[in-house]
Structure 1
Amino acid sequence: MTKYIFVTGGVVSGIGKGISAASIGRLLKNRGFSVFMQKFDPYLNVDPGTMSPYQHGEVFVTADGAETDLDLGHYERFIDEELTKAASVTTGKIYSRVIKKERRGDYDGATVQVIPHVTDEIKNAIYRAGKESGADVVITEIGGTVGDIEGLPFIEAIRQIHSECAVEDVLFVHTVLIPVIPGSDELKTKPTQHSFKQLMSQGIKADIIITRSDGAIDTSIRKKISLFCDVPEENVIESRHVDLIYELPNVFREQNLDEIIMNHLKLEPKALTADDWRNMVEAFKQAEGTIRIALVGKYVQLHDAYLSVSQALLDAGYDMGRLVTIDYVDAEDLVDDAALDAALKDVHGIIVPGGFGERGIEGMIRASKYAREHEIPYFGICLGMQIAVIDIARNIAGLKDANSTEFDVNTPYPVIDLMEAQVGVENMGGTQRLGNYPCHLTEGSRAAKLYKEPDILERHRHRYEFNNEFRGMLRNAGLTIAGINEDLDLVEVIELDQDSYFVACQFHPEFKSRPNHIHPLFHGFVEAAGKRAMA
């Protein structure tokens, strides 16, 4: 019988609700239970795929091709499981399903209402996740904060699940902020009390309260929250500030959160599995010596736009005992040689991640050229591979004005072009090449040596591809085609044969990198940058 944990937020958003949920998942994994995680986002967009990165941060893509909230990246990194489309539920998806059913006549002429039709659809998404995943525990994070108008149907749905299931099958975790009064530095629990009452007014009583604050909460704070929020004192859990986000499961475990959850859900106690996670965190904390990476992009004002990329870089560094620092370089600022020197001359590696649109493209092409000519390790991801192809076409193959038709439809040398399947597509959402696709790696290539296997599966999110008409010309210019999707005859990985690392891929390897399983391409890139740092 699947158990359900619901994580809600109060007071304000942005206090680490997603990390807390992911940490609970890791705790249960450490105790030998199987876990599936979900994120409920109350916005009307079907998914974040059409949102600006400045609105929503990165779009995380699952193996089966769902464009999702960035919290799913945290979930996968913490629980080390591949999630599915069932892990991402939005108001847009729910209403789309309800309206489709109404149009088909599935409701037998009934007046379609939020309760029961919308809430039933939400409950179905939760129960379906448990059934399809077969997990012991499904952990569902409700986006936003309690009291938000758009989140009310989700709160009502999980209230109904509590009434439909046995008491020991459902657990509510409420995350809150404990603010500090300026001047007196006094911690205040009143916002927590109001948030608890708001949740109670909607029919849900929190079983566990997780607090965030600038200072440590003492016994008196715990007692006060326990008294006014009607939870046992030991169920008031502190989410402390940590040097590494991966420490949080250990912090929770020190407060016996795993035991509290198992007792409430009546999960048969299992011995603590080999504590590889704790050992990993302790090893990461010993890292020293800096590797400086320039991330050249177009959304650098919001670092969350590149969250999985930056985390994969940091994790690769930690795994090698080194500290990676990331310089977020705005590609639009790289207008000439002086700007390139100022931004890139002292870095140990250059990475160009994914993106869409013409803005900043010329600066990225200059960054690729700079990395190549100065033998600075270069790693291109998705758009970053296309940028490298344009650079090599223009500056080595002599194809002046080579470009992608995404940026110049009249380019005489369209080395990157729209996929045939994308021609005439009008809807932008969910119509790209999304999710896992196979790739065969060329024997002897750097990529094949890093992966240590010839055939791989990687996640994609793009419309434009390497134009096969230019394969021969670019090969003659020194480009190595190191990976191909043989089914679609599409170029997936390119390299240059030079001592420094120059590798680019059409897929998004950051989505598969884990702190305890570093992605091979990130490992190779950071290792090469580390050698340059020590030179």
Structure 2
Amino acid sequence: MTSPSHVTPLVFVTGGVVSSLGKGIAAASLAAILESRGLRVTMMKLDPYINVDPGTMSPFQHGEVYVTDDGAETDLDLGHYERYVRTRLSRKNSITTGRIYETVIRKERRGDYLGGTVQVIPHITDEIKRCIVDATDGYDIGLVEVGGTVGDIESLPFLEAIRQLRSERGPESTLFMHLTLVPWIAAAGELKTKPTQHSVKELRSIGIQPDVLLCRSEKPLPDSDRRKIALFTNVPERAVISAVDLDNIYKLPRFFHEQGLDDIVIRRLGLQAGPADLAEWDAVLDASEHPVDEVTIGVVGKYVDHQDAYKSVAEALKHGGLRQRTRVNLRWIESSDVERQGIAALEGVDGILVPGGFGDRGFEGKVLAAKFAREHGIPYFGICYGMQAAVVDYARNVCGLDGANSTENDKHSPHPVIGLITEWRTQSGDVERRSEESDLGGTMRLGLQDQRLKPGTLAREMYGRDVVGERHRHRYEFNNRYRTQLEDAGLVIAAKSMDDLLVEMVELPRDVHPWFLACQAHPEFLSTPRDGHPLFIGFIRAARESKAHANSAPATEVRG
């Protein structure tokens, strides 16, 4: 391997005992403290699954697919990272076993290995190390999370690669932080340290001695258990950190700082850093702990039994509330239930959000949710598929286009108001339908793209500027053949792509509806607890106003 011009100190975060202990949030919390001390921080996720990326994985199994500025489809942990630190990540920051093997095999086919036998060591591990160096070079510190649990066969190449990096760089520029479980056994009335001891033993058996232990537990870790863990794991007692369950994940930066975790890392790696300034995080917690209002938002989706599929949406809604000291209660509504139960499933909410998704299951429930919000003056926020549902509703029930649909769900719709961009094209101002074979050429629109907002619209008011960039992840678009017809019927095209070809946002006029906006992009990916996002802040404000109005006057029906 070639050494970078600047050797970035690295913190490797591993997990033991069981999965889902919160390595990503723990690592992001440490990164937030280090950033508050003036360091330029980056983060990286090494995922052991053989998929090249999670883009084709089921949301029920894997949760949300997070999207970066450069269009990488990544694990949801990158969403945690970007919510805690201000560094904007890229495809370099998310590596999978599948991607590593794909790269190595491509090199082998090109003859880069000069006919040699290609092996896990050194070829796979060298490629992992190259990716780590490439993603972290130029920063003051990099935090690298290894997915999975120590002992999993899938994680072994990654663990071997980080072991080699320690050997090559030395302990002065690498630190191993291991997150384990210290379970509370109710029958015995005590915490048990043995699983942590065995997890560290497993880690040491492959040549990695942890420098810091984060001990996840239901109860605070007693000093006696801390000393016992330190003794049996060869980790200094002060580096055995309690990671007790907290009711708010944004408390973790302050909680770890009070235990001196950041001081341990900075001293161990010889970093020059100022004092921690956690004022912004304290403000987040203060707003969260002392709300002055609350609203209930109905999230109408098709994966609500697996809410990690909407992780960024849920967090962005809460962030929108934090900016106005409002507690946001989420009511998860299965869109298929709306199809079965009708509007009864939607009663009692202060606002309705319909998030993204794919496929026809539950789509009609999303259309009904958009229709209900439109007709009853309830604040509506449609994201991606939620925008498409709103357009379909408007086409059917305001424009009278019977059978209007997306070609994703009905390829023979008489009015395909939503379709693949390859199903229509613009020539000299005319838009025409292309052949069905063009479906094969449909591609995903991914990553950050600019759009121009229309003056005088709700969207322009929310953002406060003319051009904004948002991240996209979708295949289907508003069909330009129906632009004029829907606009003539009152639908406002609030934003378009910079080349004027693609519809990015639609809304209803304020004299028709108090707050009805839908966007093709995914603004939830750019929301953070410290800053929020203009659309989510505006939506929650509208929900507050709707709630106040409903409590002071009889409900009125509003129709577009």
Q: TM-score range by the shorter chain?
A: over 0.9
Specify which of 321, 324, 336 is matched with residue 320 of structure 1: 324
TM-score (norm 1): 0.97
Instruction: List aligned pairs for 1:390-409, cutoff 5 A.
Output: 390-409=392-411
TM-score (norm 2): 0.92
How many angstroms does 1:309 deviate by? 0.2
Q: 1:125 to 1:533 in 2, by over 3 A?
A: same
How many angstroms does 1:528 deviate by? 0.3
Instruction: List aligned pairs for 1:211-250, cutoff 5 A.
Output: 211-250=215-254
Q: How many angstroms apart in 2 are the aligned matches of 1:253 and 1:427?
A: 51
1:29 aligns to 2:35 (yes or no): yes
Contact conserved, 2:82 with 2:88, CA < 8 A, in 1?
yes
Helix, strand or coil at the partner of 1:36:
strand
Matched with 1:153 is 157
How many angstroms does 1:234 deviate by? 0.8
Q: How many angstroms apart in 2 are the aligned matches of 1:432 and 1:408?
A: 19
How many angstroms does 1:28 deviate by? 0.5
Q: How many angstroms apart in 2 are the aligned matches of 1:300 and 1:113?
A: 43
Specify which of 340, 349, 352 is matched with residue 351 of structure 2: 349
Contact conserved, 2:422 with 2:441, CA < 8 A, in 1?
no
1:510 aligns to 2:524 (yes or no): yes
Helix, strand or coil at the partner of 1:139:
strand
Amino acid at match of 2:394: I
Q: How many angstroms apart in 2 are the aligned matches of 1:426 and 1:5?
A: 44
Contact conserved, 1:340 with 1:370, CA < 8 A, in 2?
no
Matched with 1:378 is 380
1:442-480 deviations in Å (ceiling 9; x for gaps): 001100111001001110000000000000100011100
Matched with 1:53 is 59
Q: How many angstroms apart in 1 are the aligned matches of 2:166 and 2:381?
A: 48
Matched with 1:479 is 491
1:482-520 deviations in Å (ceiling 9; x for gaps): 000032610000001134210000000000001111111
Specify which of 416, 426, 451 is matched with residue 418 of structure 2: 416
Matched with 2:117 is 111
How many angstroms does 1:288 deviate by? 4.3
Specify which of 454, 470, 478 is matched with residue 458 of structure 1: 470
Helix, strand or coil at the partner of 1:18:
helix
Contact conserved, 2:337 with 2:345, CA < 8 A, in 1?
no
Amino acid at match of 1:265: L
Mind listing any 5+ residue stretches in structure 2 that lack a counterpart?
1-6, 425-436, 550-560
Helix, strand or coil at the partner of 1:239:
strand
Contact conserved, 1:291 with 1:322, CA < 8 A, in 2?
yes
1:209 aligns to 2:223 (yes or no): no
How many angstroms does 1:243 deviate by? 2.2
Specify which of 277, 282, 286 is matched with residue 282 of structure 1: 286
Matched with 2:18 is 12
* CA RMSD, Structure 1 to Structure 2 (Å): 1.5
Helix, strand or coil at the partner of 2:304:
coil
State which drifts further: 93-102 or 485-494. 485-494
Q: How many angstroms apart in 2 are the aligned matches of 1:283 and 1:11?
A: 35
Q: How many angstroms apart in 2 are the aligned matches of 1:290 and 1:215?
A: 30
Identity of aligned residues (%): 52
Helix, strand or coil at the partner of 2:496:
strand
Contact conserved, 2:34 with 2:276, CA < 8 A, in 1?
no
Helix, strand or coil at the partner of 1:456:
strand
1:267-322 deviations in Å (ceiling 9; x for gaps): 01323346222232223211243200000011111000000000000111122111
What is the total number of aligned residue pairs between the two structures? 529
Contact conserved, 1:284 with 1:319, CA < 8 A, in 2?
no
How many angstroms does 1:168 deviate by? 1.2
Helix, strand or coil at the partner of 1:522:
helix
How many angstroms does 1:135 deviate by? 1.2
Contact conserved, 1:30 with 1:275, CA < 8 A, in 2?
no
Q: How many angstroms apart in 2 are the aligned matches of 1:165 and 1:335?
A: 59
Q: How many angstroms apart in 1 are the aligned matches of 2:278 and 2:181?
A: 33
Matched with 1:77 is 83
Instruction: List aligned pairs for 1:73-152, cutoff 5 A.
Output: 73-131=79-137, 134-152=138-156
How many angstroms does 1:342 deviate by? 2.4
Matched with 1:311 is 315
How many angstroms does 1:426 deviate by? 5.7
Helix, strand or coil at the partner of 2:506:
strand
Helix, strand or coil at the partner of 2:339:
coil
Specify which of 515, 522, 525 is matched with residue 536 of structure 2: 522
Q: 1:425 to 1:122 in 2, by over 3 A?
A: farther
Amino acid at match of 1:148: D
1:135-181 deviations in Å (ceiling 9; x for gaps): 11111100000010010000000000001103210010000000122
Matched with 2:306 is 302
Helix, strand or coil at the partner of 2:472:
strand
Q: 1:217 to 1:273 in 2, by over 3 A?
A: closer
Matched with 1:168 is 172
How many angstroms does 1:183 deviate by? 1.1
